[in-house]
């Protein structure tokens, strides 16, 4: 695929002052993502707990069954189009009045595909596996998918403009309003699962209206375009991403599926408890990589060396961020298992201590999709995931019958290693080199210091509270030692401080101000 011509300074309405470094923007936008996540997770949990307490097992089971089906269909129907939208906007913000009307046309196609697939799957599923199916619930759930797709598309456009505050604000509004609606509306007497889906759909409609109003009014880019050429062009770019994402998710579940094929269900349950912390941890690197993706997409057109510098810096940061998580959960495995799953699952502590060391690889591998997409190499991503699938399938098919639970743990780590090595080779062929391997040893003193602090609490009798306190203390020591070890150079810290003290102010009608390619040279940290 050919790369589009980068816009020049004269193509953009105005160019913002260049004092806000790229590293500073990464920190500020990652902070927006982190704060949004911190606010969203407890609100979601509160809403779900309230529904569970009020509705009981059968209605809440109906809600989660339909919700899970809609989530999978939503993800398949998207097929990478939102990632393509972010890349288009990041590279050509001056063409926003063309890109957004095209994206609205693509959004309508995605919504139609999503609804059709959902109805084809949800209705037979509910008819076959439940006593009865409520068509009202299915229809409301389908309408919620439209508003959810709309929210995702507008958020992706604003990511391309590096305006993460609007996305996070809208998602916080969605979650909080859902929580409020559940508290006010959802009771057995108001419809049970139907009322829950009405609350969910209404909250998504509110958030979608807010974010689209912001995008269309502040950037004056309303319109609608859809034809065969637009569909061909967008899906040619997005389908390899969507297919790769489907296989990547299957990779995440392969351990459990192969264990279920070769071993008793009790072993599968033990592994599921041990692997449970890995699921939310997969969200953490996206806080950073979603921020760097627009910068990578712009830089890929004009300066491959800048892509290399940003990839190396991000890799080192992700690796350093993963180590305290791995150390903390490894040291606290037994108290955590006892507190969350009980004495019956204490045998899951050792597998957790093994699995958690894949966190660093998961963090590093999370950016491969975005870096390859920024380099217009979606097909390379697809081939990489297929190769990893074949390697991991062969490894686990051999290891699980031999070693059972521990074979699945080792196969999981070897699969992430295969993905990491394959990704490094794919990027090397495209001219992007990996960090010096000695850089991965730089956090070692900080890791040793944290381990020494937590070691006394790594036993069966330690209370969860004492482990949490030790983990916080160890994390603080890790951060201090890491800074003095030079993981983040002092010059970068000074640039971050300057950018946080004097952030660029972007006028609402000047969307290219913060993303003009004239600033690209300063946007990528050295």
Sign of the alpha-carbon torsion through 265, 266, 269, 274: negative
On whether both 215 and 270 belong to a single domain, the answer is: no
Whole domain around residue 202: which residue ranges? 23-243
On whether both 100 and 202 belong to a single domain, the answer is: yes
DSSP 9: G
On whether both 231 and 107 belong to a single domain, the answer is: yes
Burial class (CB in 10 A: 0-12, 13-18, 19+), 428: exposed
Instruction: Note whether residue 404 is domain-resident.
Output: yes
Instruction: Note whether residue 15 is domain-resident.
Output: no
Task: Indicate if the pLDDT at residue 463 is higher than 50.
Answer: yes
On whether both 235 and 269 belong to a single domain, the answer is: no
**Per residue, what are the HEC states of 450-483?**
HHHHHHHHCCCCCCHHHHHHHHHHHHHHHHHHHH
Average pLDDT of the segment spanning 102-125: 90
Task: Indicate if the pLDDT at residue 518 is higher than 50.
Answer: no
So what's the pLDDT on residue 328? Answer: 92
> b/e for 436-454, b at 16 or more Cβ within 10 A?
eeebbebbeebbebbbebb
Name the residue among 275, 248, 353 with its Cα closest to residue 267.
275
On whether both 301 and 411 belong to a single domain, the answer is: yes
CA distance 488 to 486: 5
So what's the pLDDT on residue 506? Answer: 39
CA distance 105 to 125: 30
On whether both 211 and 309 belong to a single domain, the answer is: no
Average pLDDT of the segment spanning 164-193: 87
Task: Indicate if the pLDDT at residue 426 is higher than 90.
Answer: yes
Instruction: Note whether residue 512 is domain-resident.
Output: no
Task: Indicate if the pLDDT at residue 10 is higher than 70.
Answer: no
H or E segment to which residue 283 belongs: none
Whole-angstrom Cα Rg for the chain = 24
Instruction: Note whether residue 145 is domain-resident.
Output: yes
On whether both 180 and 304 belong to a single domain, the answer is: no
Q: What DSSP line would sit under 149-186, residue for residue?
A: HHHHHHHHHHHHTT-HHHHHHHHHHHHHHHHHHHHHH-
On whether both 273 and 239 belong to a single domain, the answer is: no
More confident residue, 244 or 515: 244
Count each helix (H run) and each strand (E run) in the chain, helices first.
22, 0
On whether both 374 and 471 belong to a single domain, the answer is: yes
On whether both 297 and 365 belong to a single domain, the answer is: yes
pLDDT tens-digit readout, 90-100: 988 888 999 99
Instruction: Note whether residue 373 is domain-resident.
Output: yes
On whether both 168 and 268 belong to a single domain, the answer is: no
The number of folded domains in the chain is 2
Sign of the alpha-carbon torsion through 475, 478, 483, 486: negative
């Amino acid at each position: 695929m050919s790369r589009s011509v980068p816009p020049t300074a004269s193509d953009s309405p105005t160019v913002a002052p260049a004092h806000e470094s790229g590293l500073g923007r990464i920190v500020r936008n990652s902070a927006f993502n982190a704060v949004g996540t911190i606010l969203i997770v407890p609100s979601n949990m509160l809403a779900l707990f309230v529904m569970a307490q009020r509705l009981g097992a059968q209605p809440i089971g109906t809600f989660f069954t339909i919700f899970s089906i809609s989530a999978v269909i939503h993800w398949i129907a998207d097929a990478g189009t939102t990632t393509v939208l972010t890349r288009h906007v990041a590279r050509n913000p001056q063409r926003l009045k063309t890109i957004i009307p095209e994206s609205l046309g693509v959004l309508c196609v995605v919504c139609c595909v999503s609804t059709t697939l959902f109805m084809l799957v949800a209705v037979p599923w509910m008819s076959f596996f439940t006593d009865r199916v409520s068509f009202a619930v299915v229809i409301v759930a389908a309408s919620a998918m439209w508003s959810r797709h709309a929210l995702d598309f507008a958020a992706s456009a604003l990511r391309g403009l590096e305006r993460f505050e609007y996305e996070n604000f809208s998602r916080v509004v969605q979650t909080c309003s859902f929580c409020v609606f559940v508290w006010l509306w959802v009771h057995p007497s108001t419809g049970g699962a139907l009322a829950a889906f009405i609350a969910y759909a209404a909250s998504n409609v509110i958030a979608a209206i807010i974010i689209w109003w912001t995008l269309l009014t502040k950037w004056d880019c309303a319109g609608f375009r859809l034809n065969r050429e637009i569909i061909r062009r967008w899906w040619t770019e997005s389908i390899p991403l969507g297919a790769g994402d489907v296989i990547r998710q299957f990779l995440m579940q392969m351990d459990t599926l192969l264990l279920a094929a070769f071993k008793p269900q009790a072993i599968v349950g033990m592994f599921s408890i041990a692997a449970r912390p890995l699921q939310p941890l997969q969200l953490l690197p996206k806080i950073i990589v979603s921020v760097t993706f627009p910068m990578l997409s712009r830089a890929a057109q004009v300066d491959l060396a800048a892509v290399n510098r940003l990839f190396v810096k991000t890799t080192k940061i992700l690796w350093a961020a993963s180590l305290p998580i791995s150390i903390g959960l490894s040291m606290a495995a037994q108290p955590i298992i006892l507190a969350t799953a009980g004495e019956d699952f204490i045998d899951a502590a050792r597998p957790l201590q093994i699995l958690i060391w894949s966190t660093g690889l998961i963090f590093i591998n999370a950016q491969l999709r975005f870096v390859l997409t920024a380099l217009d190499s979606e097909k390379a991503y697809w081939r990489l995931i297929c190769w990893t699938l074949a390697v991991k399938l062969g490894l686990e098919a051999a290891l699980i019958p031999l070693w059972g639970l521990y074979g699945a743990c080792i196969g999981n780590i070897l699969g992430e290693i295969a993905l990491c090595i394959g990704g490094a080779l794919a990027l090397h062929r495209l001219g992007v080199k990996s960090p010096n391997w000695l850089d991965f040893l730089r956090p070692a003193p900080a890791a040793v210091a944290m381990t020494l602090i937590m070691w006394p609490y790594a036993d069966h009798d330690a209370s969860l509270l004492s482990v949490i306190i030790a983990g916080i203390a160890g994390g603080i020591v890790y951060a201090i030692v890491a800074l003095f070890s030079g993981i983040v150079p002092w010059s970068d810290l000074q640039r971050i401080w300057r950018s946080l003290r004097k952030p660029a102010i972007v006028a609402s009608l000047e969307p290219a101000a913060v993303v003009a390619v004239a600033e690209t040279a300063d946007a990528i940290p050295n």
